[in-house]
Amino acid sequence: MQSPIQQQADRQTAVVIGAGIVGVCCALYLQREGYRVTLIDPEAPGDSTAKWSCGQMAVSEVIPLSKPGILKKIPGWLLDQKGPLALRPSALPGILPWFLRFLACARHSRIVEISNEMATLTHHVYEDYAPLLDACADKTLMGERPIIEVFDTAAGLEQEGPHMELRRSLGFKSQVLDRAAIADLEPALAGKFSHGLLFPDWRAVSDTKGFIAALTQSFVDQGGVRMRAQVKHIDEVADRASGVTVTTGERYAADHVVIAAGTGSRQFFEQTGASVPLAGIAGYQVLLPHSGVEVRHSVIYADGGFCFAPMTRGLQIGGTIEFAGPNAAPNYKRAEIILEKARKILPQLKIDDLEYGVGYRPFLPDTKPVIDRSDRLKNVFLAFGHGQLGLTLGATTGRLITDLVAGRKPAQDLTPFSAKRFAFN
């Protein structure tokens, strides 16, 4: 028997703008609650920012990017055009206010605060994904193997010490690896690294594109509607949304609207009253369909700033990022740099039929997402700004947004993820 809330939801509709990993998870959780959901995105299922990611469930990656170890490296990276981070000169004026806010999050007390807040979300990743994955036909979408991180020197590993301790204090696990342990876990890297970490509570998906596409298909199989279109604007009546209109002129009525469009969410800030410093930071990847090398685990190369991610569609190598500015064309030389570095480690890599890709990570200066309700339109909900944790936090965000839509108090305190938090600093 349905609960009163579910019976009410059966008579209500929702539109989710954005069908990347966060959007499709919001749609699935709303659907589970009984809402009739339309999911709208201009791209094909699976073709989203998360497709061009390392595919990791990075549950302990709760420490903000402004951690001291990273800040010390940034000047050198910016001077080295082959480094893991690049800044286009044309992007500097636009990114400077964002970067000043980013630096303000570098205080130790702020780092600890943000880490604690993010952990309230990431501790629930697997339980939140479980019902969504159970409904999918493919039961191998989530891998079972942990993630490895390797370092060039002992000093690099030692620099991670305070961060490892903070993660342990929050209940996350890690294990130090020596040369023999790395070789045993990852024979392809035997003799190449002597210092590493194992994250036993991390997992990787079998394929980032396939993962999102499978969840989308599950949504459709259960009666959801997935439209390939570009939303032009949210329709309004008084202080509420009445639906959305797409660029072709078609209108989709809705009792509730969820904005989960990543960097594309900026289009709706004026209508929703959100004043949020959302930046799109380009992350580049190379896909090798026939790499000729067996990589068993997702492996982060800390000093190189990239990751080897084995997937069913090939070996994906990526992670280097670039501040390029809004609407900037991709610079695939960044992807070539990744490949060049990867071949120094694994010279036997076969690069036939390679594919370059880029995903624009929706980053906020404190590296926390927005999970909130619009102040201006009371039935519009905000789910964006997940940075590099979109895949990790997709299902958790979907659950929390559905709580807000249904009028329930979420189990986790969402104050740290309010869109209004930037109005005070």
Burial of 61 (0-12, 13-18, 19+ CB in 10 A): buried
Give the helix/strand (H/E) hosting 113: helix 108-122
Contact call for residues 211 and 19 (beta carbons, < 8 A):
no
- Sequence length of the chain is 425
366 HSE (CA, 13 A, CB side): 24
Contact call for residues 383 and 48 (beta carbons, < 8 A):
no
Contact call for residues 207 and 55 (beta carbons, < 8 A):
yes
Structure tokens of 249?
Answer: 């002129």
In sequence order, which ranges of 135-256 are alpha helices (DSSP H)? 154-159, 161-169, 179-185, 208-221
| Chain centroid offset of residue 176 CA | 26
The dihedral through the CA atoms of 202, 120, 318, 79 has a sign that is: negative
The C-alpha atoms of residue 268 and residue 216 are separated, in whole angstroms, by 24
Q: What is the pTM of this model?
A: 0.94
The dihedral through the CA atoms of 340, 346, 352, 356 has a sign that is: negative
Closest CA to 81 of 295, 315, 243, 320: 320
The neighbouring-strand residues paired with 279 are 363
The C-alpha atoms of residue 377 and residue 397 are separated, in whole angstroms, by 20
Mean pLDDT by 10 residues, the chain (425 residues): 49 95 98 97 91 94 79 63 72 84 89 97 98 96 97 94 95 97 98 97 96 98 97 96 98 98 96 93 94 97 92 92 80 90 96 92 95 97 96 98 97 96 75
CA distances, 292 to each of 51, 170, 289, 352 (Å)? 22, 39, 9, 10
The one-letter code for the residue type at 238 is A
DSSP 9-57: HHT-EEEEE--SHHHHHHHHHHHHHT-EEEEEESSPTT-SGGGGS--EE
The C-alpha atoms of residue 61 and residue 67 are separated, in whole angstroms, by 12
Determine the straight-line distance between the first and last CA of the chain, rounded to whole angstroms: 48
| Chain centroid offset of residue 76 CA | 26
pLDDT in tens, 135-193: 999 999 999 999 999 999 999 999 899 999 999 999 999 999 999 999 999 999 999 99
The CATH code for residues 69-107+147-201+279-363 is 3.30.9.10
DSSP 235-258: EEETTEEEEEEETTS-EEE-SEEE
Query: Is the CATH number of domain 4-49+210-277+367-424 3.50.50.60?
Result: yes
The C-alpha atoms of residue 406 and residue 415 are separated, in whole angstroms, by 18
Closest CA to 51 of 15, 24, 91, 78: 24
The C-alpha atoms of residue 299 and residue 287 are separated, in whole angstroms, by 15
The dihedral through the CA atoms of 157, 162, 165, 166 has a sign that is: negative
Domain boundaries defined on the chain: 4-49+210-277+367-424, 69-107+147-201+279-363
The C-alpha atoms of residue 367 and residue 388 are separated, in whole angstroms, by 9
pLDDT in tens, 245-265: 999 999 999 999 999 999 999
